[in-house]
Each structure stands twice: as C-alpha cells, then as structure tokens.
C-alpha cells in the first residue's frame, strides 16, 4: 500500500530526507490504543464511530493517519451489511419466494417496481407512498424498506476485522514498511546492500521480480555482499518517478523472500522525488527499522517471461537442436565486481554457452549494455551469444560476442535458429 504524501512524516536536512519510523516497544502505546479503539467499535457503523478522536492522541496526527491507513489496509474494513443481518427468518423466506436473495437483488427488484408503478420516477412527495406500497408487496414495514435502500451508503457500513487481531508490534512494523514503500513509490532508483549466504539465489529472485515489473537492475559484488541498484528507465519513459510503484513491488518481493533466502539488508539508499525536488534517504543496518511487508497481490509466475523469451525457450526445449539442451536463468556468474544471470544457457556434453536476449531497450541502455559486455569479455566470459531485436541492429553490429538478430511478425517472432547453431561450438 502507498500512503498519501500528507501522511508522511519526515525531516529535510539539505538534500537528505529523514523519514520518521516507530520503534517497539518504545512507541507501542499509540498503536495499542488505536487497536483497542477499533476493537471496541467492531460491528458499529462508520457514521457511529468518531474517527477524529484518535487524531488528538499524538502531537503529529500524520503518524496517527498513517497508522490508521496501515491497520485498514491489513486488518480492518468497513463493509456493507448483509440481508441476513437486517431481516428475520420469516422476512427472508418471503423475499426468497420473490427471488430476492441479497441486497443487490432487492435494489434491482425495487427499481423495477418503480419503473412499473411510477414510470421510473416518483417525486419526493410520493416517497412514503412508494415505499409503503413496496412494503405491502414484500410484507415488510416502511422502516425496513427504507433501511434496505440506504444500507449501502458509506456511513451505514459496519466495521469488521478481516483476520486475527493485530498487535502493537505488527502495527509498528507494518507502519514502518508502508513509510518505506511510499518512499519507493516516489523514487526513481533504489540501491541496497545485501549480505547473507545465498547471494546467488538472491540475484535470481531479483531478476525474477525486475522482469515481472519492467524495471532495470544492476548487480555488483561488494565486500559485504551484493550491491543492487534498481531503477525505472526514467530517461526513456517519462516523469521521474513513473516507475516508482514497480520499484516498490520488486523490493517488497525481495523483503518477503528474505527469511527464506537467509539474507540481511545492510544498507538502503533511495533517490526520492517529492514535489519536483530530489532528495536522498540513507539508511544503514542501525537506522533501518523492523519491517513487516504486506502480502503480495501481484500476478502469477506465468507473467515473468517476455513473449520472445517464451517462444525461444519452448522452441529450443521441444526440438533440442543438434542435441543442445536449454535451461532458464542458470546460476549467477561473477566476473570482476559484476554479477550476472543470463537469460538462458545452451548445454551439450561439457559445453555451456550463455544466451542473452536484448529486446525493448532504448539507445541509452544499449550503450550501457555494450560497456557491460565488453567488461565481461575482458574478464574471462568467452561463451555467450546475443539474440537481439533487429531494430537494434546498428547498435550491436560490433558487439563483443556473436550476435543473431530476430524480428517480430505479428504475434510471433522469426528467430534464425540456424545462425545460432553456427555460433555454437562444433
């Protein structure tokens, strides 16, 4: 979830933005009080609950608003009443006899009734008459008919808890995470330093998420672990933070997977764009707060691959040209300080040739890719083939690796498999 910017509490010191986080147990009194307040009003309508009262419980109501937003995002909701909440068994039986099983059914019945009895409209002076006549048909009192017509209004919705009762600690961790995700959303790039025992697996997870959400990632080996830079292609696609949501989803996915990966976030740097000004958020292992990422709501794994990747993989997998097999995203390779995970590896006996597909990139990024490929060649990566969209032919005619060009034909791609085979070891 992304908070409203007016809920974001922070300080500005020069070009640095310092967000306000909560700590447990030091700051637990406020979230605990908010939880108790919501629990005390469960089952009441929104119109009956004074949600302005808690805003006076802290010197800065931005924190209260952000905590409220976090709790409603994760644990609580205002939901409309059900027909079974409003009528007794006899009344429900009568409505079902007339084909009404829900409040939606009732509203449709009522508007059909108004269409037939009043030509689709009745003046305010005839409202009582119309509701009384509807009640006579349905054997319901005027008050009940009126309630059924107004129960969907926001003030009539009831407060529910969607899952187990939160604690002050989970509320604080959730709040901290929502603050960070809001900063990610308003960023154009994020750099993080990750330590742990499974950096190769971490790189694969990051590649998965960056492919899914269409952002760019640079992976670099560092003394303390893996340095990762995630950026939206702002120089290609419009406003500075237009890919902030995508960046937020990548980091959210990584943080959700962190415990399984056995990794630790050591440092985090966020280039934030707020009100057309750029600031930097710098957090180290001491200043990073405890976090509780929100559950994923994104598409299934089937969304991960581009069309060209899917076609290339399945065509090669099904045909195994000249005995060469194919695997997706082989293990990470480190060359100098660079860590890469190619798209595919072609394997036959003791030979392994990596394949990198270059598709949507703009000119600025192809220049960067050229420099990376040259670095890899100079540092010992010999066996690689580039499969490049023909629209980038000019930029890749002098690439340091064998290059084969493909082109789009409607919903399919023309991939010259014969040229790829010629580039493979004999």
Answer whether residue 328 shows pLDDT above 90: no
Together in a domain, 332 and 290:
no
Strands 384-389 and 338-340 turn out to be unpaired
Together in a domain, 284 and 207:
yes
Compare 39 and 330 and report the one with higher pLDDT.
39
Answer whether residue 64 shows pLDDT above 90: yes
Answer whether residue 168 shows pLDDT above 80: yes
pLDDT given for residue 84 in this prediction: 86
Please say whether the beta carbons of 412 and 311 come within 8 A.
yes
Locate the DSSP E strands across 162-262. Answer: 187-196, 216-222, 225-231
pLDDT given for residue 283 in this prediction: 95
Strands 216-222 and 225-231 turn out to be antiparallel
Together in a domain, 204 and 296:
yes
Together in a domain, 295 and 312:
no
CA distance 188 to 44: 42
As a whole-number percent, the residues of the chain with pLDDT over 90 amount to: 46
Compare 225 and 77 and report the one with higher pLDDT.
77
What CATH code is carried by the domain that includes residue 382? 3.40.1350
256-314 per-position pLDDT tens digit? 888 788 888 899 999 998 888 999 999 998 999 988 887 765 443 333 357 888 899 99
Together in a domain, 404 and 388:
yes
Together in a domain, 211 and 281:
yes
Domain of residue 386: give its range: 305-423
Together in a domain, 93 and 104:
yes
129-166 per-position pLDDT tens digit? 999 999 999 999 999 999 898 888 888 889 999 999 99
Per-state percent for the chain, helix, strand, coil, to nearest 5: 45, 25, 30
How many domains are there within the chain?
A: 3
CA distance 79 to 5: 26
Strands 351-358 and 344-348 turn out to be antiparallel
Answer whether residue 11 shows pLDDT above 90: yes
Evaluate whether residue 165 is within a structural domain.
Answer: no
The domain boundary, picked from 254, 285, 303, lies at 303
Together in a domain, 284 and 332:
no
Confidence of residue 332 (pLDDT cuts 50, 70, 90): low
Confidence of residue 335 (pLDDT cuts 50, 70, 90): low
CA distance 321 to 357: 18
Can you tell me whether residue 74 is helix, strand or coil?
A: helix
Together in a domain, 351 and 419:
yes
The domain boundary, picked from 273, 303, 333, lies at 303
What CATH code is carried by the domain that includes residue 244? 3.30.70.600
84-127 per-position pLDDT tens digit? 888 999 999 989 998 998 888 998 899 899 988 888 888 889 88
Together in a domain, 310 and 296:
no
pLDDT given for residue 303 in this prediction: 38
Together in a domain, 270 and 310:
no
Residues in the chain: 426
Mean pLDDT calculated for residue range 176-198: 90
Which residue is it, tokens 């710098």?
A: 282
């Amino acid at each position: 979830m992304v908070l409203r910017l007016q809920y974001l509490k922070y300080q500005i010191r020069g070009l640095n933005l310092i967000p306000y986080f909560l700590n447990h147990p030091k700051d637990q009194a406020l979230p605990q009080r908010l939880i108790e307040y919501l629990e005390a009003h469960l089952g009441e309508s929104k119109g009956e609950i004074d949600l302005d009262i808690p805003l006076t419980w802290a010197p800065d109501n931005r924190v209260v608003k952000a905590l409220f937003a976090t709790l409603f995002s994760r644990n609580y909701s205002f939901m409309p009443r059900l027909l079974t909440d409003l009528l007794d068994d006899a009344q429900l039986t009568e409505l079902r006899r007339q084909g009404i099983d829900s409040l939606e059914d009732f509203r449709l019945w009522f508007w059909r009734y108004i269409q037939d009895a009043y030509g689709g409209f009745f003046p305010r002076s005839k409202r009582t008459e119309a509701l009384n006549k509807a009640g006579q048909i349905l054997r319901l009192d005027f008050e009940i008919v009126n309630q059924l017509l107004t129960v969907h209004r926001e003030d009539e919705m009831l407060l529910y808890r969607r899952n187990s009762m939160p604690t002050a600690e989970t509320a604080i961790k959730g709040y901290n995470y929502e603050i960070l995700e809001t900063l990610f959303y308003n960023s154009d790039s994020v750099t993080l330093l990750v330590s742990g025992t499974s950096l190769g697996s971490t790189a694969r997870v990051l590649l998965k998420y960056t492919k899914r959400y269409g952002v760019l990632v640079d992976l670099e080996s560092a003394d303390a672990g893996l340095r990762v830079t995630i950026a939206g292609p702002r120089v290609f696609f419009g406003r500075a933070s237009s890919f902030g949501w995508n960046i937020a989803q990548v980091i959210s996915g990584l943080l959700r997977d962190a415990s399984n990966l056995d990794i630790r976030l050591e440092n985090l740097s966020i280039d934030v764009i707020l009100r057309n000004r750029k600031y930097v958020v710098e957090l180290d292992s001491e200043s990073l707060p405890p976090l509780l990422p929100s559950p994923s709501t994104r598409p299934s794994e089937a969304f991960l691959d581009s069309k060209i990747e899917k076609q290339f993989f399945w065509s090669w997998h099904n045909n195994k040209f000249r005995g060469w097999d194919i695997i997706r995203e082989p293990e990470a390779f480190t060359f100098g300080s660079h860590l890469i995970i190619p798209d595919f590896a072609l394997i036959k006996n003791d030979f392994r040739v990596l394949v990198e597909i270059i598709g949507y990139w703009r000119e600025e990024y192809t220049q960067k890719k050229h420099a990376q490929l040259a670095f890899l060649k100079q540092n010992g990566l010999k066996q690689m083939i580039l499969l490049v969209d023909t629209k980038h032919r000019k930029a890749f005619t002098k690439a340091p690796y064998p290059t084969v060009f493909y082109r789009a034909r409607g919903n399919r791609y023309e991939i010259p498999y014969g040229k790829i085979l010629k580039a493979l070891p004999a």
